Amino acid sequence: MVLLTSSFLYDLVLFVVIFLTTFILYYNYKLSYWKRRGVITRKTVFPYGNAEKIVKQKLHFGLEWASMYNDFKKKGQRYGGGYLFIKPVFIPCDLDLVKDILQTNFNHFSSHGIYYNEEGDPLSGHLFALDGERWRNMRVKLTPTFTSGKIKMMFNILIKCGDIFEQVIEKHSETGEVFEIKDLTSRLTIDIIASTAFGLVTNSIEDPGNDFATKCTTFVAPGIQTIITQVLQFFLPHSFLRMANIRVNDPTVANFFLDVIRKTVDYREKNNVYRKDFLHLLLQLKNRGVVSDDGKIFPQNDGEKNSATSITFNQLAAQAFLFYFGGFDTSSNLVSYAFFELAYNPDVQKKLQAEIKKVFEKYDGDLTYDSLNEMKYMHMAILETLRKYPAVPINPRQCTKDYKIPGTNIVIEKGTTTFIPTMAIHYDPDIYPDPDKFDPERFSDENKAKRHPSAWLPFGLGPRECIGLRFALMQIKVCLVKVLKDYDVTLNEKTIVPFRFQKHGLFLVPEGGIWINVSKQTH
Ligand code: HEM
């Protein structure tokens, strides 16, 4: 069939030429987005934009975007623009601007831009992903479940898991056997999450092959379908993905978690069980619409239930799952990096051990919530670990309402993705001189007060700041005390120092792992 010329072949060539010309014009137009707005960018590579090294796994995405921050800052810019393929990404480099986005003008950037599908895939509807009114309502409901009082209530779970951790450390010290700390802290974190959020007692430390642990590790190593969804969410409208009922989580893994939660919820409701954990607080929200200090999961009197503030079973399941989604890799990485830095910096380790001894003497050897809170140097060492190893090196925010950059005529349009360059800020020598040095003193009250409020962002900032931060800090404190009160930690020669980070994955993981030796203290 001939359409435009006298020959099919000419038609075909013409069609290809028109197609290619249109494509090139469209592509170049898309990649001129920042230039047209007078925002500096870095040279792009077809078809990756600024994501070539990330896609080809030559550099971890956190480090690649950190290098863009450094480029822009060197050129004296307060911000710059990048491209994920053809998608524009805004990168603020100025701390006032970062604060403006995360806190002061939060209503312009209130979404993480993460895809969720509450109907087709209930577990995806957790707080981190929700946006708009859905997010606001859920955040209000969940905030009372993460107060210091509620963390104190769950403290015993941390102590029990910490006891098992200590026993493993004791065994290693007796046998002199080296171990990989991230592997151990991952198993420990799985036990803590299973107990706190799912009401399950697992023993992944001694039995790493248990069902729960296996499903957890499958989730963090997603299959091809999950990876495709993760990519699609950047490029296609979320409403379209929802209409097509695209799932976020692997159905086998999601059904396993849903099933576990349903069984525990049914059991507790049938037998009126009170257990001091996060699931209990979620059950109160579901059945009463309030979080209370009592042990009751059902309304106390007719009319007590507040339907406006209660949550459904699916919402309960998603928020329990969130403990895993938000807390697994983040917490286990933090604990393992802290052990690395303490082993690498024996002076800091000694100072910490002295502090632990002093506080223990005051509390007659009791490890309590209050005694942990008195360990100021430990707190500083943890904050410094979080500076050097922010679990989320780039914090994504989506512009939800046009935003004019103060002092300019440039408007960040609704829908634009913003990457807050946490890792780059934490390694900026203008903010933290000698940034590779591990120095807890940076976080003394006096030194902290000298810095900008958005100079330290491992938990984000503003209304969407990490809701689990108190829990995460308590978990690492228990782990550190359990080990350092009786043992010295040293670095095994199998650890590659300085680290080379794996080039793939969401989190920064050192290649070859962190290998540790422990020995009983003699001092
Ligand atoms: C060391 C451990 C952790 C780190 C470094 C960390 C880091 C973060 C970061 C950077 C954010 C984004 C904040 C923002 O957008 O401004 C976040 C949000 C969040 N985190 Fe964590 N997190 C940790 C542990 C936990 C734990 C244990 C939980 C348990 C429930 C948790 C639950 C969440 C939730 C629900 C959000 C979303 C909050 C919202 O959007 O309103 N995180 N976290």
Q: Is 120 helix (H, G, I), strand (E, B) or coil?
A: coil
How many Å lie between the centroid of ligand 1 and the Cα of residue 19?
45
Tell the residue nearest (CA) to atom 20 of ligand 1.
Answer: 466
Flag whether 466 is marked binding. Answer: yes
Give the nearest ligand 1 atom to 422 CA: 10
Q: 175 Cβ partners below 8 Å, 6+ apart?
A: none
Query: How many residues in the chain?
Result: 523
* 228 three-class SS: helix
> Cα(127) to centroid of ligand 1, in Å?
9
For the four alpha carbons of 103, 105, 106 and 112, in that order, the dihedral sign comes to: negative
Measured distance CA(195)–CA(201) in Å, rounded = 5
Spell out the per-residue pLDDT of the chain, length 523, in tens. Answer: 666 777 888 888 888 999 999 999 999 999 999 999 999 999 999 999 999 998 898 999 899 999 999 999 999 999 999 999 999 999 999 999 999 999 999 999 999 999 999 999 999 999 999 999 999 999 999 999 999 999 999 999 999 999 999 999 999 999 999 999 999 999 999 999 999 999 999 989 888 888 888 888 776 666 677 777 777 887 889 999 999 998 888 888 889 999 999 999 999 999 999 999 999 999 999 999 999 988 999 988 777 777 788 999 999 999 999 888 889 999 999 999 999 999 999 999 999 999 999 999 999 988 999 999 999 999 999 999 999 999 999 999 999 999 999 999 999 999 999 999 999 999 999 999 999 999 999 999 999 999 999 999 999 999 999 999 999 999 999 999 999 999 999 999 999 999 888 888 788 888 899 999 999 998 7
Q: Which of 379, 456, 459, 461 to mutate to test the pocket of ligand 1 (most atoms within 8 A of CB)?
A: 459
Q: For tokens 């925010």, what's the residue? A: 397
